[in-house]
């Protein structure tokens, strides 16, 4: 497998995690050919379907958990609210551990197992931790998970239930990412962190599925909640490769959506900078995208510049309103996922998206991942005795 640095363009052989020259994030070298494997086996693995586009020689289906094949759902109501033509939601909450992270984890575990690793690991605020712990358990691997000691209490048990070695680490969370690169090398642990190349490769399959679900008519915009930047890079790369290979006739405009309380990429983009700067005091309810110094931030900025993308930040209040609006469409997602709808509404109503535009919002995780956010909603219920239910309904609802 050959890799290229997104920053200095140095190339490497093998599964490097960062550039040894400049510490920049790496990409697997772009494809020059590939074919979608259209087998008719029900529930076929997405890794088998897109094997030509992934850095894997084969797929061990025993390690899979049914990742991918998530729905793309239209909403005429929310398109109208946003002032655009068509609006779709790619619901990644329907992955095995309820988030998009399972795609990258699946690719990383396949590669690790094929190359003899017995240990895997990840640094995460929640979603990726649960994903790596689940897939590690499935593969029978010794799994090491590092989280911030400030992690919300309700996120700990859904990680620990899979039986990993779980560490709550005090200190700078963004520095912990780089620390694990040394830990992994010293202890033979294959880390599948947020923006490592194999995780980025897994995220490409989101773009591949969107293209197929839209009959290869690429949307005008794709809105992605952005933290470390790996998922954004992967989705963009998926569209780039399908465009290069002629599966689609245009590249969508990529939209980086961030929380106003922690928006290092948006800050740099809006100021015309090519390098992100650390957010010193992040403050947002969107914990899953609360990364003050994203390791792939500069690479995201480069993609935005090269492909005429845009960034937007929204407040916690706007996210919570969007979360409620999505719930009223039957989609209960994290505030971090609702950032995409809030961003689309802002861009559409401000006239920054065309009125006939087609837009796909990527919903990255389930609302069940962070139920504490429900305290910010006006949740209503009715108290009534069993013998009075019929009369109550007739009186209140006619």
Confidence class for position 41, pLDDT limits 50, 70, 90: low
pTM: 0.92
Over the stretch 53-66, which tens digit does the pLDDT of each residue have?
A: 999 999 999 999 99
Inter-CA distances, 299 with 177, 231, 302, Å: 17, 12, 5
Poorest-confidence range of 94-98, 177-181, 228-232, 274-278?
A: 177-181
- What would the mean pLDDT of 284-295 be, rounded to a whole number? 92
Q: 364 pLDDT band (50/70/90 cuts)?
A: very high
Model confidence band, residue 43 (pLDDT cutoffs 50, 70, 90): low
**pLDDT tier, 132 (very low <50, low <70, confident <90, very high otherwise):** very high
Radius of gyration for the chain, computed over Cα atoms and rounded to the nearest angstrom: 21
Residue 328, pLDDT score: 97
Token pair of 87, please?
């609006």
Cα–Cα dist 234/219, whole Å: 17
Mean pLDDT, rounded, of the chain: 93
Share of the chain above pLDDT 90, in %: 76
For residue 388, give Cα distances in angstroms to 241, 384, 396, 398: 62, 6, 12, 15
Rounded-to-integer distance, Cα 367 and Cα 63, Å:
26
pLDDT digits (tens, 9 = 90+) for 370-394: 899 999 999 999 999 998 998 989 9
Q: Is the pLDDT of residue 200 over 60?
A: yes
Is residue 98 over pLDDT 90?
A: yes
Supply the pLDDT for residue 254. Answer: 98
Q: Which has more pLDDT, 263 or 288?
A: 263
Mean pLDDT of 136-163: 92
Nearest CA among 261, 263, 216 for reference residue 243: 216
pLDDT at 30: 81
4 — pLDDT class (breaks 50, 70, 90): confident
Nearest-angstrom CA–CA distance, 101 and 136: 13
């Amino acid at each position: 497998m050959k890799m290229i640095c997104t920053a200095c363009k140095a190339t490497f052989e093998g599964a490097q995690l960062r550039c040894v020259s400049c510490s920049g994030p790496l990409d697997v070298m772009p494809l020059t050919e590939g074919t979608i494997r259209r087998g008719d086996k029900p529930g076929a693995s997405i890794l088998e379907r897109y094997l030509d586009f992934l850095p894997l020689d084969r797929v061990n289906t025993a390690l899979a958990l049914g990742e991918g094949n998530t729905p793309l759902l239209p909403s005429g109501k929310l398109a109208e609210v946003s002032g655009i033509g068509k609006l779709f939601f790619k619901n990644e909450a329907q992955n095995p551990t309820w988030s998009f992270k399972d795609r990258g984890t699946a690719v990383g575990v396949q590669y690790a197992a094929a190359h003899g690793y017995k240990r895997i690991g990840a640094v995460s605020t929640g979603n990726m931790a649960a994903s790596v712990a689940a897939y590690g358990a499935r593969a029978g691997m010794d799994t090491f998970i590092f989280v911030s000691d400030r992690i919300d209490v309700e996120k700990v048990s859904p990680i620990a239930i899979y039986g990993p070695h779980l560490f709550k680490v005090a200190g700078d969370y963004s520095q912990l990412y780089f620390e694990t690169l040394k830990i992994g090398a010293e202890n033979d642990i294959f880390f599948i962190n947020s923006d490592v190349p194999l995780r980025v490769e897994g995220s490409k399959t989101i773009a591949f599925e969107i293209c197929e679900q839209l009959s290869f008519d690429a949307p005008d915009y794709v809105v992605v909640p952005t933290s470390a930047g790996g998922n954004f890079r992967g989705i963009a790369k998926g569209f780039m490769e399908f465009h290069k290979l002629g599966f689609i006739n245009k590249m969508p405009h990529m939209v980086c959506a961030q929380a106003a309380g922690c928006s290092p990429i948006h800050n740099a983009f809006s100021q015309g900078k090519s390098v992100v700067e650390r957010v010193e005091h992040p403050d947002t309810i969107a914990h899953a995208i609360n990364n003050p110094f994203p390791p792939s931030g500069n690479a995201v900025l480069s993609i935005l510049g090269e492909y005429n993308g845009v960034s937007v930040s929204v407040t916690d209040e706007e996210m919570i309103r969007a979360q409620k609006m999505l719930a009223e469409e039957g989609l209960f997602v994290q505030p971090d996922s609702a950032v995409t709808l809030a961003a689309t509404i802002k861009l559409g109503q401000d006239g920054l998206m065309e009125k006939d535009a087609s837009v796909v919002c990527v919903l990255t995780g389930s609302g069940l991942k962070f139920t504490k956010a429900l305290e910010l909603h006006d949740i209503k219920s009715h108290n009534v005795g069993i013998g009075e239910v019929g009369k109550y309904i007739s009186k209140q609802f006619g």
